[in-house]
Chain A
Amino acid sequence: MRKSFGGLTATDNLSLEATRGEIHAVIGPNGAGKTTLVHLLSGLLKPDAGEIMFEGRDITRLSAPARVNQGLARSFQITSIFREFTVLENVMLSVQAGQGHSFRFWRPAAKDESLRAPARELLERVGLGGRMDVKAGNLAHGEQRQLEIAISLATGPSFLLLDEPMAGMGLEESQVMIDFLKALKGDYTMLLIEHDMDAVFALADRITVLVYGRAIATGTPDEIRNDASVRAAYLGDEASGGTV
């Protein structure tokens, strides 16, 4: 895949493959094109060249909503939730979106058990069960990040694109999120974009290192840790597992 903005090539002949059920992490310094990659995969941006195959289908030209309906959900680097809605309403909207069109003008959605029940169940699962009636904007930062992922999960995806789920989190919150994602492992294929090296090495089955829009290495966490070019370009001396 290739994507340029004017003279800047953000994604340069990048080729990536994620295996079903695995967590594939993408790391790289700021400006390496990680978020551009998420936007290309989720459909917010269209590639200049190349194609995106998902479960055997070419989805390169599909719009962002259409990709979600195919089972490809994403989370955002900057928390993207409905702040005025309650936690439950946030997830209910997502459940509603998964049930087909919303051109239903009369019956109150808030009392619809076919929306409430799955949303409640999902929130219990992700540990937000006790916070359902709180307005999303009033949640703690870590909880908002969890809600962000719960919203994505409620669309019923097979593939999760996680754009820096640990962004802005303290050590404790990060650990909660790592455990949370670990619990999801196996049920979903995940592409994890992350700065937090602890998280990446704890979660990933495979890691791709991105520098200036190119993949300079792909391999298991051990291979990446010992890769000379990666150490030189990016990891430095913190490859032993510190937070970058």
Chain B
Amino acid sequence: MKDVIDLKSPANILTIIVVGLCAVVPFLAPALGEPFYVIVFARIMVWAIAAVSLNLIMGYGGMISFGHAVYLGIGAYAIGILAFHGVTSAWIQWPVAIGACAVISLIFGAISLRTRGVYFIMITLALAQMLFFLSVSAERYGSDDGLNILARSDFGVSFFSLEDNMTMYYTIFAFLLASVFVSWKLVHSRFGVVMRAAKSNETRVQAVGVSTYRYRLTAFVIAGVMCGIAGLLQANLERFVSPDMMNWPRSGELIFMVVLGGMSTLFGPVTGAFVFLMLSEILSTWTIHWHIIFGPFLVLIVLFARGGIAGLLTPRASRE
């Protein structure tokens, strides 16, 4: 793993463009007469945070969770349900949302991490769908139709209000940068070394005296919490939560974003989320049958660009 980041490599230039766009879109889009793109970018960034969190366990830890979107749902529903009962203070909402994700991911992780391979994929999927059906059956909270959130999380201070769309946008932006920074620190720490080593050769890690289970479980919980933060941001952004947010296709899309952008690369999930969502946005304005183009495109990327977009843009010689 290289410590020096080459700013001139094409993959990094793409990263800089994407992150730079995210930074200026609230000013750029209205100036270009396309204010609609502000919300599009805010959505992309929320998904990017979720994708970064999935990459942490999938890309660096080898744990292919097919139920990762459930934490988006838990984070979002924590906000929605509390708001429904009149609790709008962020100081209560956010800790509850994060705590709920930590507890659920701890339980789900403790169960699913006893298995490997396809079984792990199926169990994470099954556990996530359990909560999906729970949310569908929760009539009080809107069932299928979802739940409207009348007011965004209230920090109780005058200078910082999420009701201001600009504040909302840059809060998400800040969390996106933070999630990448935290991933970067984690991956290179002693903890991250164990995580990556366990992905590479788990038996060997055990044979040098490390019980991998505790480390994998910790990583699973960290990723769950990080994804939960994306969920609580999404609920605030959209002022709406629905079971669809945690249905299994969302988990599949998250996996796709990570693979598309480049697994086990720091910014890969961000560019992956960007390309995935922008492309579906643009294609869907051309034709209602946009999936016919989108599907094969994704298949081609997976087949021919191993390492995703980051891999495609990295010169062969410098690939590790």
Pair from one complex:
yes
User: Interface residues, chain A, CB within 8 Å of chain B?
Assistant: 42, 44, 63-66, 68-69, 73-74, 76, 80-85, 89, 92-94, 96-98, 102-110, 112, 135, 151-152, 154-155
A69 lies within 8 A of B192 (CB): no
Q: A93-B197, A104-B191, A151-B204 are in contact. Are A110 and B3 (CB under 8 A)?
A: yes
A76 lies within 8 A of B208 (CB): no
B205: A residues at CB distance < 8 A: 93, 97
Q: Indicate if B84 sits at the interface (CB-CB under 8 A).
A: no
A42: B residues at CB distance < 8 A: 207
B189 lies within 8 A of A109 (CB): yes
Most buried by B among A44, A65, A89: A65
- For the complex, give the distance between the alpha carbons of A198 and B178 in Å: 59
B208 lies within 8 A of A97 (CB): yes
Q: Indicate if B34 sits at the interface (CB-CB under 8 A).
A: no
A93 lies within 8 A of B194 (CB): yes
B193 lies within 8 A of A102 (CB): yes
- For the complex, give the distance between the alpha carbons of A44 and B204 in Å: 11
B204: A residues at CB distance < 8 A: 76, 80-82, 151
B206 lies within 8 A of A64 (CB): yes
A76 lies within 8 A of B210 (CB): no
A102 lies within 8 A of B215 (CB): yes
Q: A81-B204, A102-B215 are in contact. Are A155 and B209 (CB under 8 A)?
A: yes
B211 lies within 8 A of A104 (CB): no
Interface size, chain B (Cβ < 8 Å): 27
CB-CB contacts of B193-231 with A at 8 A, as 1s and 0s? Answer: 110110011011111111100010010000000000000
Q: Indicate if B188 sits at the interface (CB-CB under 8 A).
A: yes
User: Interface residues, chain B, CB within 8 Å of chain A?
Assistant: 1, 3, 185-186, 188-194, 196-197, 200-201, 203-211, 215, 218, 320
A110 lies within 8 A of B209 (CB): no
Give 7 pairs: A residue, B residue, CB < 8 Å, sorted on A.
A66-B209, A80-B203, A81-B201, A102-B194, A108-B188, A109-B190, A110-B1
Inter-chain CB contacts under 8 Å: number: 101
B215: A residues at CB distance < 8 A: 102-103
- For the complex, give the distance between the alpha carbons of A189 and B100 in Å: 51
A110 lies within 8 A of B208 (CB): no
B218: A residues at CB distance < 8 A: 103
B209: A residues at CB distance < 8 A: 65-66, 68-69, 97-98, 155
Minimum CB–CB distance from A115 to chain B (whole Å) comes to 8
A82 lies within 8 A of B185 (CB): no
Q: A81-B201, A103-B190, A105-B185 are in contact. List 7 more A-B contacts (CB 8 A).
A: A85-B197, A93-B194, A97-B209, A102-B215, A106-B189, A107-B190, A154-B208
Most buried by A among B1, B190, B193, B203: B190
Most buried by A among B188, B204, B207: B207
Partner of B207 from the list A64, A110, A135 (CB cut-off 8 Å) is: A64
B201 lies within 8 A of A109 (CB): no
B203 lies within 8 A of A83 (CB): no
A98: B residues at CB distance < 8 A: 208-209
Minimum CB–CB distance from B299 to chain A (whole Å) comes to 27
Most buried by A among B188, B209, B215: B209
Partner of B208 from the list A66, A89, A108, A155 (CB cut-off 8 Å) is: A155
Minimum CB–CB distance from B84 to chain A (whole Å) comes to 35
Minimum CB–CB distance from B264 to chain A (whole Å) comes to 10
